[in-house]
Amino acid sequence: MPWTQVYDPMNNLALSSLLAAIPIILIFYLLAVRRAPGQIAGAVAVTSAVLVAIFAYNMPVDLALKATGMGALYGIFPIFWIVITAIFIYNMTVETGQFEIVKDSIATITDDRRLQALLIAFGFGAFLEGAAGFGTPVAISAGMLVGLGFNPLYAAGLCLIANTAPVAFGGIGIPIIVAGQVTGLDTMKISAMVGRQLPFLSVIIPIWLVTLMAGWKATKEVMPACLVAGVSFAGVQWFSSNYIGPELPDILSSLACIISLTVFLKIWKPAKIWRFENEPAPTLKANRAALTFGKVFKAWSPFIILTVMVILWGLKPVQAALDAVTIKWFVPGLDKMIMQVAPIAKVPTALGALYKVNWMSAAGTALFIASIVTAMVLGVGPSQFIGIFSKTFKQLIKPLITIPCVLGLAYIMNFSGMSATLGLFLAGTGSLFPFFSPFLGWLGVFLTGSDTSANALFGNLQSVTGQQIGVDPILTVAANSSGGVCGKMISPQSIAVATAASGLVGKEGDLFNFTVKHSLVLAVIVGVMTYVQAYYLTWMIP
């Protein structure tokens, strides 16, 4: 007998929302106030969510445990699979000494840490988000910045904040495509609307990043480079999202940013080089002279191979062929056993519980194959290959606990209806809803770590509420995606990936504190933008 979700178990939406928020309050408190390790915060939060689901929402115990377990499985595969393979490739370049050449080659473009952050955290990170998404950009770019000599906390924090502008179109446009599927709205119109919101953030983010790491005075010294990075990215993002579609904005805009910035830095240099306080003086002049094209190409080959594989895996024909060998498991006793009802679903809908092991088409598999090719190029033998992989696995034992916990938290909150309760509470703000609309997406991405999942979770609610208050649903659905990007940097899943990549395991609370205020401020900016577009700049809605 299927169990039907209840969205107001206390017959008082405010009180029900407070109960539903207990796991979120706990994880916020443990990370921000107690600065607890991620695995502790994740375990406490998921346990509390299961208890609230069972005792407040009257969710059957077996359904609650199975939903949580299914989320934990997704935490292991494909999420942890991406993390371990990405960091494995990075570790291989370090162990073979090739990363020293990578560092020197970046220094030939610029020694300046501010500009290196723009190139790697903003430009290259956005490229990886567009090509793969799901944790890949933070795992790779944070590891690279640490290798370059960045303070690990800044490396992780900067990459999380930089991974804002591209998230809505990440993973070959999947978040926007899902939003269209869930709501029945024109995908191209949603893409265009998001492309009329996020470019404003895209111009701001490079300036924001540099100000955060170096202060406003130091930012003014590199303002021309910040504007080149932001404007080139934003311009192509707007054009491609409005006139091409949701699949390519990240890839095209990040390439425009990287190429524009690299060319610009060939003809312009800041008055003085900025580095972190107490950082050792650079010793790169001798290395520069020894850099040949062959050496540089070999050193960069792991990341070139990685990029080629990720792009190849993202092509629809390749993905379709690889998906043919996907193992699909309908979770017994959970699949079709939970009914989602109005106003979350247009008609009563049985929730599917399909766990897919897309072992060939997963981004992590593309990275693992890239690691094998990399090993051959760098001359890494089988025993050294296994040794580095083993070392990488040991390095990631704690994230192997944290990531399944936070994915389990996302699934139990979604399957129990707790996430929907919080969404309905925000949707009850009437004419102010356009301002709060992005916060629904923010909440969804905080819970799930994925703009795709947030759109699947709240897309229909955004559409229905927009229609009820007389605002074009294209705007509210797009705002779900645009607001969601601001929640990415504080999602426990993202925090776990970033700490694993930068050697900060156990410091998840410090990283959360580093990013949370920026997340909230950016979400407010998107909220104000959406409100103005809803009532004053309606001509911006396609």
Read off the pLDDT of residues 102-129 as tens digits, 9 standing for 90 and up: 777 776 788 899 999 999 999 888 877 7
The Cα 117–Cα 154 span in angstroms is 10
Q: Is the pLDDT reported for residue 86 higher than 60?
A: yes
Structure tokens at 151: 């303070």
- Range with lowest mean pLDDT among 379-383, 458-462, 514-518, 530-534: 458-462
Mean pLDDT of all residues in the chain? 87
Band of pLDDT at residue 285, cut at 50, 70 and 90: very low
On whether the CB atoms of residues 221 and 270 are closer than 8 A, the answer is yes
Neighbours of 318 (CB within 10 A): 15
DSSP H helices in 56-119 = 61-74, 81-95, 98-109, 113-117
DSSP 246: S
Residue bearing the bigger pLDDT, 447 or 98: 98
How far from the centroid of its chain's Cα atoms is residue 352's Cα? 24
Per the listing, tokens 């796991």 go with: 23
pLDDT of residue 283: 43
pLDDT of residue 179: 84
Q: Is the pLDDT reported for residue 356 higher than 80?
A: yes
pTM: 0.77
Helical (H) or strand (E) element with 4: strand 3-4
Structure confidence by residue, pLDDT tens digits, 219-252: 999 999 999 999 999 999 999 899 988 877 887 8
Structure confidence by residue, pLDDT tens digits, 454-502: 887 778 778 878 887 889 999 999 999 999 999 989 888 788 888 888 8
Could you tell me the CA-to-CA distances from 241 to 180, 199, 252, 258, 471 in Å, in that order?
Answer: 14, 10, 10, 19, 22
Could you tell me the CA-to-CA distances from 529 to 74, 157, 240, 460 in Å, in that order?
Answer: 34, 25, 21, 21
Per the listing, tokens 């690889």 go with: 322
- Range with lowest mean pLDDT among 61-65, 204-208, 269-273, 492-496: 492-496
Segment 136-159 mean pLDDT: 84
Q: Is the pLDDT reported for residue 132 higher than 70?
A: no
The Cα 455–Cα 537 span in angstroms is 24
The Cα 165–Cα 161 span in angstroms is 9
Residue bearing the bigger pLDDT, 70 or 181: 70
Per the listing, tokens 């062929």 go with: 321
The Cα 251–Cα 327 span in angstroms is 30
Q: Is the pLDDT reported for residue 435 higher than 90?
A: yes
Q: Is the pLDDT reported for residue 413 higher than 70?
A: yes
Beta strands 349-350 and 354-357: pairing type? unpaired
The answer for residues whose C-beta is within 8 angstroms of residue 227's C-beta and 6 or more apart is 203, 206, 207
Nearest-CA neighbor of 67 among 340, 333, 441? 333
Q: Is the pLDDT reported for residue 330 higher than 50?
A: yes
pLDDT of residue 281: 55
Band of pLDDT at residue 284, cut at 50, 70 and 90: very low
Could you tell me the CA-to-CA distances from 275 to 110, 112, 272, 490, 510 in Å, in that order?
Answer: 11, 6, 10, 26, 22
Q: Is the pLDDT reported for residue 288 higher than 70?
A: no
DSSP 540: G
Band of pLDDT at residue 35, cut at 50, 70 and 90: confident
Domain ranges of the chain: 3-540
Structure tokens at 538: 């309606």
